[in-house]
Amino acid sequence: MQPTKEQSLWMYENMVVSRRFEEAIEKAYLEGKTPAFNMANGPIPGEMHLSNGQEPVAVGVCAHLNADDIVTATHRPHHQAIAKGVDLKRMAAEIFGKSTGLSGGRGGHMHLIDPAVNFSCSGIIGESCGPACGAALSRTIQNKPGVAVAFLGEGAANQGAFHEALNLAGTWKLPVVFVIEDNSWGISVPKAEATAVIRNDVRAAGYGMPGHYVPGNDPHAIFDVAGEAIARARKGEGPTLIEAETYRLAGHFMGDAEQYRPKGEKDALFAKDPIPKMRERLLAEGCTATELDEIEQRADSLVADAITFARESDYAPESDALTAVFV
């Protein structure tokens, strides 16, 4: 399954939006954190898990989804949220802790929930899997269209939650697709030292579903495999497990000195940065530089508007902390 030109450009645009957004977040995050790094300072306090480098997986999968479909995501959720269509302004405002944010500042960057596009995420490793099964079950029981996609990291594939959810999905043949972003690092521990198998796609066999491995951090290859899996789910043929190789260009969180990385690894990863690679590919396929430049400019202004909106928004009254525990 190959993307149309329109789909390719959509993937490119969302990759660029995601990257530019994270560059802007990174810059804002560092404000107020020098000379001594203190996570609690600055306009964006707390942990920050950037997803730059991992954009291909999010766009290759979400290119097949519409607003009715469900995505449950991880503690590293920006690229997935953007690809699923979460409002960028409200997401930025949430990360800045503002009243106009998705939850008015109660959740922050690891807890982005946007019911308008059926997006949610959890800061707990592996906990995207069960809720995706439940949302898929909901559609099955109600006989409503829609599939659920659970994103997780390769480290999460060692959590019990992942295995329980896969068994549930396999047993009930749920319209759900599990997508592992294999960035090869669980914070500082390499995949090989934490995982009994070389590739997690083989684990699908234990749960009665097909498994696919997608090498190369290649949006087109991911689009292809995810397209088949999602179509299969839509036809009621059950779940699929996909593991896609990807690259974490940043640390686990901002402030991570990444001393665990082998020398030269980061340089090699940046040399394989999927965004310039995709631009080259699109040019080779006949897109014009002007067309791609326009996409990049549009991404720049979308991100700039979102960051401005976030900065200019007010904080909610502090007593709002005491509300919305119950609806």
Partner 1 sequence: MLDQPTNERRLTIARAMAEAMQQEMQRDPRVFVMGEDIAGFGGIFGNTRGLFEKFGKERVRDTPISETGFISAAVGAAMDGMRPVVELMFVDFFGVCFDAIYNQMAKNAYFSGGNASVPMVLMTSTGGGYSDAGQHSQCLYGTFAHLPGMKVVSPSNAYDAKGLMTAAIRDDNPVVYMYHKQLQGMGWLGTEPGATLNTPQEGYTVEIGKAKVVRAGSDVTLVGLAMGVHNALKAADKLAEEGVNAEVIDLVSLVPLDRETVINSVAKTGRLIVIDEDYHSYGVSGEIIATVTEHDVSKLKASPARVTFPDVPIPYAKHMEQFCLPNPDKIIAAYRKM
Binding-site ranges for partner 1 (CB under 8 A): 70, 72, 101-104, 106-107, 111, 113-115, 118, 120, 122, 124, 127, 129-139, 141-142, 148, 160-161, 164-165, 167-168, 171, 323-327
| Cα four-point dihedral sign 296, 300, 305, 307 | positive
Please, which residue, 284 or 325, has the CB nearer to partner 1?
325
**Which CB sits closer to partner 1, 148 or 295?**
148
Provide the pairing of β-strand 185-186 with 189-190: antiparallel
Q: How far is the CB of 76 from partner 1 (least distance, A)?
A: 16
Least distance to partner 1 from the beta carbon of 142, Å?
7
| Torsion sign across C-alpha atoms 104, 251, 225, 210 | negative
E strands in 175-263:
176-182, 185-186, 189-190, 211-214, 240-245
To the nearest whole angstrom, how small is the minimum distance from the Cβ of residue 169 to partner 1? 9
Sheet holding 70-73, edge to edge: 119-121, 70-73, 148-153, 176-182, 240-245, 211-214
Query: How far, in Å, CA of 323 to CA of 327, rounded?
Result: 9
Q: Are 163 and 130 in contact (CB under 8 A)?
A: no
**In angstroms, what is the minimal distance from the CB of 320 to partner 1?**
9
The rounded distance, in Å, linking the Cα atoms of 46 and 291 is: 38
Find the largest Cα–Cα distance for the chain. 57
Interatomic CA distance for residues 278 and 233, integer angstroms: 28
By beta-carbon proximity to partner 1, the closer residue of 115 and 264 is: 115
**Closest distance of CB 122 from partner 1, Å:** 6
Could you tell me how many residues make up the chain?
Answer: 327
Considering the complex, state which of residue 56 and residue 131 has its C-beta at the smaller distance from partner 1.
Answer: 131
For the chain, the helix, strand and coil percentages under 3-state DSSP, each to the nearest 5:
50, 10, 40
Helix, strand, or coil (residue 266): helix
Q: Which is nearer to partner 1, 3 or 155 (CB)?
A: 155
Q: 120 or 195, CB closer to partner 1?
A: 120
Which of 160/262 has CB closer to partner 1?
Answer: 160
Q: State the nearest-atom distance from the C-beta of 111 to partner 1, in Å.
A: 4
In the bound complex, what is the minimum distance in angstroms from residue 133's beta carbon to partner 1? 4
Q: CA-CA distance, 311 to 166, in Å (whole number)?
A: 41
Q: Give the residue with the Cβ less far from partner 1, 137 or 287.
A: 137
Shortest distance (Å) from residue 72 CB to partner 1: 7
Residue 208: CB minimum distance to partner 1, A: 12
Structure tokens belonging to residue 169: 């999905």
Which is closer to partner 1, CB of 131 or CB of 251?
131
Question: What CA–CA distance (Å, rounded) separates 142 from 316?
Answer: 37
